Amino acid sequence: MPRRVVTGIRNGKSVFLSDDAPPNAHCYASIPGHMSSVIWATAPIPSLPLDQAEPAPPRVTIPPAPGATRLMIVRFPPDSVFTSPDFNPEGAGPELAEHIPGLAECFEAHNPGMHTTDTIDYDIVLEGEIWLELDDGAEVHLRQGDVAIQCGTRHAWRNKGENSATLAFVLIGAVRDDQGTLR
C-alpha cells in the first residue's frame, strides 16, 4: 500500500497532519495483484489552510469536476492474470464500481480496458513497464520514469510484461468543446 504524508498549519506552524495509508487504498480480491488508491483530491479552487476533513474518502468519485484534481496510485498486474483461474470476472465489475466509482463506469464492456474520461492526466510510471494503447491500436511502451500526458483520449493500459507495474496518475477535470476536444 502507498504511504501518504499530509502537511498543514496549526497555530501558525507547519505540522504533519497524517502519516498513514490512504483511507481508500484497495487490493482487489477479484483481480490478483491489482491495487488502486486515490491519494488526494482537490476542489476546483482549493483553499488553504486545509480543514480536517478527509479529501479522498472511500468511494470518492474518480473523474474530477472541471478544475478539480485526483491523485491516484494504481498497481497493474501482468495481463496474464486475466487468464488465470484466480481471476474472478463476475466479481471484478462490482469491486471496481465500489472502489473506483465514476471511473469504473467509463470502461467499455466489449473492449476490455478501453475508457475515456473528461480529464487531462499526468501519468508517471513509478515501477515496472506498461503499454499505453489508443483506440486505433497504436501503442507506446513506457518504462520506469516515463511520463504520458493523456488529453481526454480513448485508451487502455496493457501490462504485457511478467511483473506488476505501478503508476501515479494526476487527473485534472476538463470540459470538451462542441467538437469533443478538451479545453
The answer to whether residue 65 sits within a structural domain is yes
What is the pLDDT, as a whole number, of residue 1?
Answer: 87
DSSP state of 11: T
CATH of the domain at 39: 2.60.120.10
Signed CA dihedral, 26, 164, 143, 181: sign only: negative
What is the pLDDT, as a whole number, of residue 179?
Answer: 72
SS3 155: strand
What is the pLDDT, as a whole number, of residue 71?
Answer: 98
The answer to whether residue 13 sits within a structural domain is no
SS3 95: helix
The answer to whether residue 54 sits within a structural domain is yes
pTM of the model: 0.93
Give, for all 183 residues of the chain, the pLDDT tens digit. 899 999 999 899 999 999 999 999 999 999 999 999 999 999 999 988 887 789 999 999 999 999 999 999 999 999 999 999 999 999 999 999 999 999 999 999 899 999 999 999 999 999 999 999 999 999 999 999 999 999 999 999 999 999 999 999 999 999 998 777 777
The answer to whether residues 71 and 39 touch, using CB atoms and an 8 Å cutoff, is: yes
Quote the CA–CA distance of 138 and 72 in Å, as a whole number: 25
Count of domains in the chain?
Answer: 1
The answer to whether residue 168 sits within a structural domain is yes
What is the pLDDT, as a whole number, of residue 91?
Answer: 96
What is the pLDDT, as a whole number, of residue 180?
Answer: 73
**69-76 and 129-134 strand pairing:** unpaired
The answer to whether residue 11 sits within a structural domain is no
Cell numbers linked to 155: 485508451
Residue 129, class by beta-carbon neighbours within 10 Å (0-12 exposed, 13-18 middle, 19+ buried)?
Answer: middle
The answer to whether residue 181 sits within a structural domain is no
Signed CA dihedral, 30, 140, 107, 170: sign only: positive
The answer to whether residue 182 sits within a structural domain is no
End-to-end CA distance of the chain: 34
Give the domain extent around 78: 25-173
The answer to whether residue 7 sits within a structural domain is no
Neighbouring-strand partners of residue 26: 36
